Amino acid sequence: MSSAGIRRTKASIITAVLNGAEHIGRTLDSVADQDHADVEHVIADGGSTDGTLELIRAHRGGTARIISGRDSGVYEAFNKGLEAATGDVIAYLNCGDTYETRSAVSKSLFELDAYGVDAAFADVLIVDALRQSRVVRRYSSRRFTPGAMPFGFMPAHPTLFLRRRVYEEAGRYDPEFRIAGDFEFCVRVFIGRNTSYRYIPEALVRMPRGGLSNRGWRSKWEITKEMRRACRVHRVSTNWAKLCLRIPLKLAELA
């Protein structure tokens, strides 16, 4: 695949935010600094009142597109951003998350085109929220296969780049899920649709610890319940024991 061909591919990066004035600047800078020639940044704001919108509009001349209005949560915000996105390839980067390198987008697009697949994903570095140079865990997508989903494994969502046609065929995120909507979506994408994919063996995103799925044992219990529900809805055979097997493996990833 020539570099000229990759440059012609438009990537839409969608960021959901609600009152994220303290963190949104890092994410805006990270997307704006990508070396790919055609990157669209869509901000799905849930009705921020803390100055977030003003910061986004002032950032580098206000190049990010803003879709603002109340929503029921992060997955409805994802869908709002998806409706507004115009790229050939779609990815999500949460407020406060950053790309690890300036070439994260171009590397992902290269893998999609070079291998003729519909999905590409990599690893995430989970870092201390106060001292982001300190890595506390590496979320590895290396173990992922569709057959691993009944055990609770999925690609690291902030690194997941999908061609637009995947959304057109698999559908949007289900806002009925509060914490595992990305898992349920991936069940549809990788099991229901049998989407072809490519794993990139490096960390492409840096995520501060403390997201929806990283808030201690209570969040692990809630996400496990929702994973079980997602598998049941899509007739994927699993059980509590299988889903809980992922927890010691994730603990082994701690730095």
Sequence ranges of the domains in the chain: 3-251
Mean pLDDT of 66-73: 94
Beta strands in 97-223 (DSSP E): 98-99, 119-127, 135-139, 161-163, 197-208
What own/partner pairs with CB < 8 Å and gap ≥ 24 does 133-137 have?
134/255, 135/255, 136/209, 136/254, 136/255, 137/209, 137/250, 137/253, 137/254, 137/255
Residue 211 pLDDT class (50, 70, 90 cuts): low
Stated pTM of the model? 0.92
CA 143 – CA 8 distance, rounded (Å): 32
What are the pLDDT digits (tens) for 126-166?
Answer: 999 888 889 999 999 999 999 999 999 999 999 999 999 99
Q: In Å, how far are 64, 86, 150, 156 from 164, measured between CA atoms?
A: 20, 9, 26, 18
Average pLDDT over all residues of the chain: 92
Res. 4: pLDDT tops 80 = no
Give the mean pLDDT of 2-14: 79
CATH number of 3-251: 3.90.550.10
pLDDT of residue 254: 65
